[in-house]
Amino acid sequence: MTIAHYYPQDLAAALHQRWPTEFPLLPKPAVLTAFISVLYQASLLFEEGRPVACHAVLAPPAQLAAQHVGPTDFHWVHFAEPRAWNEQEVRRLSPAVQQGSSLLAVEPVGDEHLQLWGMLFSGHAWDQVLDGPQRVAAIVPHALLVQVSGPGSLVFYAGSRRVLTLQRGRIEGHGFLQFPQAWGEGRFVENQQLAGPAVADLSWTPVHEECIVQFVLHMQRRALTQSRASGHGVLVVLVPTDRVATLTAPGGVLRPKYRLRSPAAGPRYPTLIRALVRRLLELGELSWAHYQRSTDAELLALTAELDHFADDIAAMGAVDGALVFTQQIELVGFGVEIQATQVPLTQVYRALDVEARTLQPVPADHGGTRHRAAYRLCLAAPDCLAIVVSQDGNVQFVHNQAGQVVFWDQLTF
């Protein structure tokens, strides 16, 4: 079977087809192609040993001013002299615009050329999930925005709305901007126990379930984002609590070099979650929506502690070996060796949609050491979940589904 790959001119044509009619018109195909081509070429370069990652907006200053994208949303850095729009300028400036709160600002000049007129900075990440109290998004430019997330990986937005994804030369074949919900739903089977005794008399509902799952995803998202930013890879493994003893016993598939025991006050993460649950119930509603809207000082303080915990997890993840948690997010140990090298595995499957209804066969040795360890672990211990962050910043979720090792490529957090 021949697999077609997409090039800048194909992307420009696809963007014109998918562009929302309520947005300002895109430039002519030749100009749009040139804009995309520079970003694509830049994505293949390295800056101080790391692949280029950055964000850009295609809009002149007058267009942004007319949309009232101003000082309260973005700090404008307007160059006294515009710079040429080419991949080397993008490479040099990329360290300043890696975060979703920052953008290279580009504008067309005439019908054929582009120039880099400045940068936009904000305290808010417009392209990420906003998952804490008082975390608000900036007013997003009503224009074409692009995220470069790695070699050949580009995500195109109309404002904050994703309209097209390119990864591995294919448009929207795979790559997810948020944690795959199908990956989490039904797999955190201990959520009510994680919430603690405060919910003992509560009629447990999907709204409560969502809230606890989102707390788990929030912590993981923060820890993995920190790991990516630091430039080191990490392998995270989640195991059912009642399987820890078996999996970590002599001869088991997990061999912790640094095994941990719970402090007298109890495991840090479950303790924080139970405090958050208790406070939300005191405020009258245990739901993720209520948590996001809240301005309560105690919730804000607990959220800060949750973020500190995630940062500590990221730091431990820098140690060689895997991080292992129970599915109640109690840290079992770090520097964990995966003892599954004898498990025969020749093929794994890439999920081409969030629900993993469509799968693409891939050789099991296509990834690095961490990826192969995660694949073999999930085959040997099907009740384990794994998350792999490679040194170049790519992220995969791995799980065993009906005897097949399936992974989801994750673009960003």
Q: Is residue 2 part of a domain?
A: no
- Looking at the fold, whether 138 and 238 belong to one and the same domain comes out as no
- Looking at the fold, whether 331 and 374 belong to one and the same domain comes out as yes
CATH of the domain at 334: 3.40.1700.10
Q: Is residue 156 part of a domain?
A: yes
Question: What's the CA dihedral at 284, 279, 217, 191 to 10 degrees?
Answer: -80
Q: Is residue 250 part of a domain?
A: yes
Range 85-96 average pLDDT = 94
Which of 114, 144, 171 is a domain's end point?
A: 171
pLDDT in tens, 259-287: 988 766 668 888 898 999 999 999 999 99
Q: Is the pLDDT of residue 405 over 80?
A: yes
- Looking at the fold, whether 209 and 345 belong to one and the same domain comes out as yes
C-alpha 107/C-alpha 349 separation (Å) is 41
Number of domains in the chain: 2
Q: Is the pLDDT of residue 130 over 50?
A: no
Range 205-221 average pLDDT = 82
- Looking at the fold, whether 162 and 217 belong to one and the same domain comes out as no
Q: Is residue 3 part of a domain?
A: no
- Band (pLDDT 50/70/90 cuts) for residue 3 is very low
- Looking at the fold, whether 71 and 96 belong to one and the same domain comes out as yes
- Looking at the fold, whether 231 and 135 belong to one and the same domain comes out as no
Mean pLDDT value across the chain:
83
Q: Is the pLDDT of residue 172 over 80?
A: no
CATH of the domain at 166: 3.40.1700
- Looking at the fold, whether 132 and 256 belong to one and the same domain comes out as no
Range of the domain at 17: 8-171
Q: Is residue 43 part of a domain?
A: yes
- Band (pLDDT 50/70/90 cuts) for residue 292 is confident
Q: Is residue 386 part of a domain?
A: yes
Which of 143, 171, 199 is a domain's end point?
A: 171
Question: How would you classify residue 48: left for phi > 0, otherwise alpha for psi between -120 and 50, otherwise beta?
Answer: left
Contacts of 288 by beta carbon, 8 Å cutoff, 6+ apart? 207, 210, 211, 214
- Looking at the fold, whether 189 and 58 belong to one and the same domain comes out as no
Which of 141, 171, 201 is a domain's end point?
A: 171
- Looking at the fold, whether 45 and 86 belong to one and the same domain comes out as yes
Q: Is residue 176 part of a domain?
A: no
User: In whole angstroms, how far apart are CA 137 and each of 199, 300, 340?
Assistant: 32, 17, 44
- Looking at the fold, whether 61 and 205 belong to one and the same domain comes out as no
Q: Of 29-38, 53-62, 132-141, 228-237, give the lowest mean pLDDT range.
A: 132-141
- Looking at the fold, whether 139 and 204 belong to one and the same domain comes out as no
**Helix axes of 8-18 and 29-43: crossing angle, nearest 10 degrees:** 120
Q: Is residue 286 part of a domain?
A: yes
- Looking at the fold, whether 331 and 359 belong to one and the same domain comes out as yes
C-alpha 75/C-alpha 138 separation (Å) is 11
Angle at 27 between CA 25 and CA 29, to 5 degrees: 120
